Amino acid sequence: MPLLGYMQPTAAALLLSSFQPSRPVKLRVGISTCPNDTFAFHALLEKLVLVEGVELDFVLADVEELNQRLDLGSLDVAKASCHAALIHGHRYALLRSGAAIGYGVGPLLLAREPDRTPRRGDRVLCPGALTTATLLFRTLYPELGAPEHCVFSEIQPALRAGRADFGVVIHEGRFTYRDAGLHLVADLGDHWEERTGAPLPLGGILVRKQLGGRLHRALHRALQASIDYAWDHREEVLTTMRRHAQEHSDPVLWKHVELYVTDDTREISRSAELALRALADAAKRCGAMPSSMSPLELAPAAL
């Protein structure tokens, strides 16, 4: 039974007419395990929302692994950090739904010891070379040199064990670091917003350009329907979030969703578009992407 919009038959029929392939299409889709992604994609993961003629084959992984898979070209649709999205703009466009845009919040720079200011020579851990967290660290602390990288879930344990002096944490880490006995040095999203006057583009959903505008539109509207479903079925969606999250405290999961699943997640705003341009400019200034690189395009959404 083809659906696109779980209780909106008129909208569903209109949306289905926008993409009716002559033969079935199978897409490899990568999303992260963080709560905002599993919340937004729950109805698609559980096949409660379908795109007629399209099979979505899901891979759930750490965001830096998804960034690397995009680099290899092994995903058709994928969550990516906005830093990686800028790098891959020649092959992928940004879907207008599914984005995580931070307003006054973002990755946190944490210290093992209180009242400690980072200085050159300190060991700093970041969650991956192409994460937006690493780009922010490079932009805001250029004097500290290159950080080291590990999976995001290993950063707090490394700090607690004394294997690093500082770490940039993402996802649920912003809600749990105090319980781990760690100390806040800076909210990098806060610093970004103060410096630029723009929100922080953290991540978004990339789609291969060669898939074409009709399929881009269908995927956009399907993800919107999945987000709408999630807000209307919070307890059901919580099971999916718990299954994949590193942190299993329900209040922490909901705090994460409430911060990062916003109006921009359903439909990216003009201010978020401008913020992406500001991030690209910052990446070019600090050498994180070539100055000649063309801008990231947004996939079409209108029918």
Give backbone dihedrals phi and psi of 207, rounded to 5 degrees, phi first: -130, 140
Give 123: exposed, middle or buried? Use CB within 10 Å, 0-12, 13-18, 19+. middle
Token representation of residue 256: 């994460």
191 catalytically annotated: no
Catalytic residue among 42, 88, 149, 171: 171
State whether residue 146 is helix, strand or coil. coil
Alpha-carbon distance of 91 to 27, in angstroms, equals: 16
Q: Where would I find the H helices in the chain? A: 9-16, 35-45, 63-72, 82-87, 132-140, 155-160, 173-176, 188-196, 213-232, 234-244, 250-260, 263-266, 270-285
Residues involved in catalysis: 171
